[in-house]
Amino acid sequence: MPNPAESNDETIFFQYRFRLKSGEETQFRVVLDGGTLNLRRAEEEAPPPSWTELAFCTCPHCPLDPARHRHCPIAVSLAGIVCAFGKAASYEEVDVVLDTAERRYEKHTTLQKGLSSLVGIYMVTSGCPVMEWLKPMVRFHLPFATEEETKYRVLSMYLLAQFFLRRRGERPDWDMAGLVGIYENVRLVNRGIADRLSKIEIDDANVNALLILDCFAGAVTFSLCRERLADLESLFGAYFT
């Protein structure tokens, strides 16, 4: 069961376990800095594989300077998952258990859906500047989230950010126009990493996990661009009287 002593003001942890039908079990322990929400890498990590180099299939809008960054931070963060599930099929059934300091989550699902939750944490906390905007969602991570849950969490996160901006004397973006731009860039990263992985010899579980994340990102931008928020607006009737 989750051990509250494992997380404190200095660190936050997520312990993912994947058990395949064969009985094989793989674990990933994600440890984040409690202040920055940056991924804490193990000191004994092996050198990253060549496909993680920044020059290999660079995202078209990558803001990193190749002279200062030899490796893509997201690719480096995902290397362990790619190694563990490189030969796994996306539709393979799996039991996933996530332990945090607060609670345990369990779900029987497909490998691609289980991996998408873990991949999302690694991408946002990797150090990629494009993904920094989504860090508040990692702090309150919800595994196996549906499209509707993701949309609600993203919109709530962005509007809370605008409230904090107003308190700091800056102009808030209550129309959420800036959120569309953030997610357009996030989708470019999703596709860039998926393209990177498609160029190495692995099966489709990792790539499809990314595509699931991209579908959710697309749902957010579609809802904002087309103003398709009536399904959420109807939940707030008490505020309109």
In this structure, is the dihedral angle defined by the CA atoms of residues 231, 236, 240 and 241, taken in order, positive or negative?
positive
Q: Which stretch, 10-24, 33-47, 224-238, has highest mean pLDDT? A: 10-24
- Ordered strands of the 93-99 beta sheet: 25-33, 11-20, 93-99, 104-110
For residue range 34-59, what is the model confidence (pLDDT) as tens digits? 999 999 987 667 788 999 999 998 99
Cα distance from N-terminal residue to C-terminal residue, the chain:
44
Section 125-148 average pLDDT: 94
Q: What is the pLDDT of residue 54?
A: 95
Reported confidence tier of residue 5, pLDDT bands at 50, 70, 90: very low
Answer whether 217's CB lies under 8 Å from 190's CB.
yes
Q: What is the pLDDT of residue 25?
A: 94
Q: What is the pLDDT of residue 7?
A: 52
Euclidean distance between CA atoms 44 and 118, whole angstroms: 21
pTM (two decimals): 0.88
Euclidean distance between CA atoms 95 and 111, whole angstroms: 9
Whether pLDDT at 139 is above 90 = yes
For residue 234 the two structure tokens come to 């109807």
Answer whether 142's CB lies under 8 Å from 153's CB.
yes
Euclidean distance between CA atoms 209 and 123, whole angstroms: 12
Reported confidence tier of residue 4, pLDDT bands at 50, 70, 90: very low
Question: Cα-atom radius of gyration of the chain, to the nearest Å?
Answer: 18
Q: What is the pLDDT of residue 43?
A: 64
Strand partners, 53: 71
For residue range 145-179, what is the model confidence (pLDDT) as tens digits? 988 898 899 999 999 999 999 999 999 999 999 99
Closest to 1 (Cα-Cα) out of 105, 94, 140, 145: 105
Helix, strand and coil percent figures for the chain, each rounded to 5: 50, 15, 35
